[in-house]
Amino acid sequence: MPKTDWYKDLVFYQIWPRSFCDGDGDGIGDLTGVLGKLDYIRSLGVNALWFSPLYPSPQDDYGYDIADYCAINPEYGTLAQFQEVLEKAHALGMKVIMDLVLNHTSNQHAWFLESLHLDSPKADWYIWRRGTDKKPPNNWTSTFPGPGWEKRERYNADGSVSSDAWYYLHLFAVEQPDLNHDCPALREALKDVQRFWLDMGVDGFREDVITYISKKEGLPNGFPLMPAGRGMEHFSQGPNLRKYLAEYRTVVDEYDAMTVGEAPGMTPQNALRYIDQNAPVLDLMFHFQHMTADCIGLAWVKTRFSLRKLKKVFNAWQQALRGRAWNTLYLENHDQPRVLSRFGCTDTEELRVASGKALAAAYLLQQGTPFIYQGQEIGMTNLPPLALEEYPDVVTHNTYDLFRSLGFSHKRTMAHAAYAARDNARSPVQWSSAPNAGFTTAEKPWFMVNPNYKTINVANALADPNGLPQWYKQVLALRSVRTLFRDGTYRDLCPRSQTLYMYTRELPGEQSCLVVISFSKKVTQIQLPKAIAARGVQLVLDSTNNAVDATAPPTHERNLTLKPYQVQVYFYQ
Ligand code: NOJ
């Protein structure tokens, strides 16, 4: 089947199943819960779903530690229930992609257990090396701070314990051994996994840390001063990455399916090595550069939010990929603290909603395929500060240990955690002001509900005609009816401003669009560019009033007074 670029017309909604909606009352989100909410998701103007891992898993990394690639976690439901969700989503006009973790499995996966036996055909399916009793094979560390190698007994053909000091590599949690993609039989097995889901009818995959699957031969030591993810220069975008991706792509191509690869550390120039439309091995890539607009590298190393920094990254990607590859557009996912608590403003309820609308307009009207994370559309915020033991995520704990070992006090480290913990994105979706935010009928959900749920919830937000979901619907509706937003050029008109984001989309033969967004907490006066105002501008969306009269005649007025975080979207000839 010929490869088409239908992924360019999608708008994704990401479901992190454990916290989305509990349908069977056990306190854990599940597929019954999802089924009941598909109409709601579709009503936002979304036409694709990305499921974070639904597979059986001991949940050491909440599903990213897969114990069986071809089944559904019983806590979430059954394969039959997944098929029902898939069919209903398709019937509603939504594509569905699965999260596929190819870099590693759970240490409970049957493959890993078999690889403990030195005579097993799967003995080299993982990255096993000999060390000494006290010393691992090299100095690599996990990207989840902590050691990168774990010592583990392996067995000889006669069942006796091998006398060698065997270690396996884990670039993530200790329970997540890395797979050895250099082994052809493993690659075949992973292709079968892809076929399993594609045969069932899924439309593609989000490929977890896919840029880490090829490690440099000989596993040389990494740069010694790197505290976490040491060795990255040898395992990120390794020597055979393109080759292996090309091989995996032959499978998805047979089904006209799509792939979006997660790519930490990716620059636009390097991305083109994988997603250039002339020789793609992936359709899309998630990079992380814009998520450093408030930090150095990671949200744990916080700086003040800089709109200029954010726009610089947006602009670089829009320019570099134009006509050559396709962008992903996102501000949130299950690994990022809530964006409103980072790039927005939560000082008052009014500013929360206003800045939520500003952030939505800042990314949804760019060129690319947008992704919305569950709860983002109602402006969910970070959790209040918790005690260390209240955070479920292994990364929060490992990063805590790292900060303490670097000399940070407990108090200071906990302040960093409150801002940066991934747990912030993983509290249950707030559906209503009912107990536990209507997420579950159980007495206790698996993880705490944000105490602000009585104010911030889907029911309240939907009841407000000027609410956030209504704004998402309007912006997405505007986007979907104009080829301008798919194909038009993008230009940032004031890249240096720290309080104003103003960009255009233009396409010959169509009306152009000017997006004006204040990122200020104060009322501001601005001027529209002379050349655009001269052509006459017509207001089509205004975040302070979701019911704009789009039939009003164009004006030539240049002076504009913007309320805090106000958005105005104009068309011009
Ligand atoms: C990236 C995923 O998004 C994250 O949640 C996970 O912990 C790591 N990869 C390891 O699979």
Domains 7-102+184-216+231-470 and 489-572 share a fold: no
What is the assigned CATH class of domain 110-169?
alpha beta
State the distance from the centre of ligand 1 to the C-alpha of 207, rounded, in angstroms: 10
Q: What average pLDDT does the chain have?
A: 97
pLDDT for 519 beyond 50: yes
What mean pLDDT is predicted for residues 103-126? 98
pLDDT for 563 beyond 80: yes
What mean pLDDT is predicted for residues 24-33? 98
State the distance from the centre of ligand 1 to the C-alpha of 533, rounded, in angstroms: 46
Give the pLDDT confidence of 53-82 residue by residue, as tens digits: 999 999 999 999 999 999 999 999 999 999
Pocket test for ligand 1, best of 172, 260, 298 (most atoms within 8 A of CB): 172
| Model pLDDT, residue 1 | 47
| Model pLDDT, residue 507 | 97
Ligand 1 atom closest to the CA of 144, numbered from 1: 7
| Model pLDDT, residue 3 | 64
CA distances from 226 to 198, 222, 229, 231, 237 (A): 39, 8, 7, 8, 18
- pLDDT band for position 481 (50/70/90)? confident
Is residue 101 in contact with ligand 1, taking CB distance under 6 Å? yes
- pLDDT band for position 374 (50/70/90)? very high
Query: Using CA atoms, how far apart are residues 82 and 209, in angstroms rounded to an integer?
Result: 24
What residues are paired with 161 via a beta bridge? 155
Is residue 99 in contact with ligand 1, taking CB distance under 6 Å? no
What mean pLDDT is predicted for residues 526-541? 96
Give the pLDDT confidence of 227-240 residue by residue, as tens digits: 899 999 999 999 99
Ligand 1 atom closest to the CA of 335, numbered from 1: 5
Q: Which residues are designated catalytic?
A: 208, 262
Q: Where are the domains of the chain?
A: 7-102+184-216+231-470, 110-169, 489-572
pLDDT for 27 beyond 80: yes
| Model pLDDT, residue 548 | 82
Query: Which tokens belong to 360?
Result: 């939505």
Give the pLDDT confidence of 321-363 residue by residue, as tens digits: 999 999 999 999 999 999 999 999 999 999 999 999 999 999 9
State the distance from the centre of ligand 1 to the C-alpha of 529, rounded, in angstroms: 43
Pocket test for ligand 1, best of 62, 64, 371, 393 (most atoms within 8 A of CB): 64
State the distance from the centre of ligand 1 to the C-alpha of 64, rounded, in angstroms: 6
pTM for this model (two decimals): 0.98
Q: CATH assignment of 7-102+184-216+231-470?
A: 3.20.20.80
State the distance from the centre of ligand 1 to the C-alpha of 385, rounded, in angstroms: 23
pLDDT for 2 beyond 70: no
Q: Which CATH superfamily is domain 489-572 in?
A: Golgi alpha-mannosidase II (2.60.40.1180)
Is residue 335 in contact with ligand 1, taking CB distance under 6 Å? yes
Could you tell me how far CA 15 lies from the centroid of its own chain?
10
Question: DSSP letter at 338?
Answer: -
Question: DSSP letter at 129?
Answer: E
What mean pLDDT is predicted for residues 396-403? 97
Give the pLDDT confidence of 521-531 residue by residue, as tens digits: 999 999 999 99
Give the pLDDT confidence of 258-283 residue by residue, as tens digits: 999 999 999 999 999 999 999 999 99
pLDDT for 424 beyond 70: yes
Secondary structure element (H or E) that encloses residue 320, with its range: helix 307-321
- Percent with pLDDT over 70 in the chain: 99
Q: Name the residue at shortest CA distance from atom 6 of ligand 1.
A: 64
Pocket test for ligand 1, best of 54, 209, 235 (most atoms within 8 A of CB): 209
Is residue 208 in contact with ligand 1, taking CB distance under 6 Å? yes
Give the per-residue SS3 of 384-450: CCCCHHHCCCHHHHHHHHHHHHCCCCHHHHHHHHHHHCHHHHCCCCCCCCCHHHHCCCCCCCCCCCC
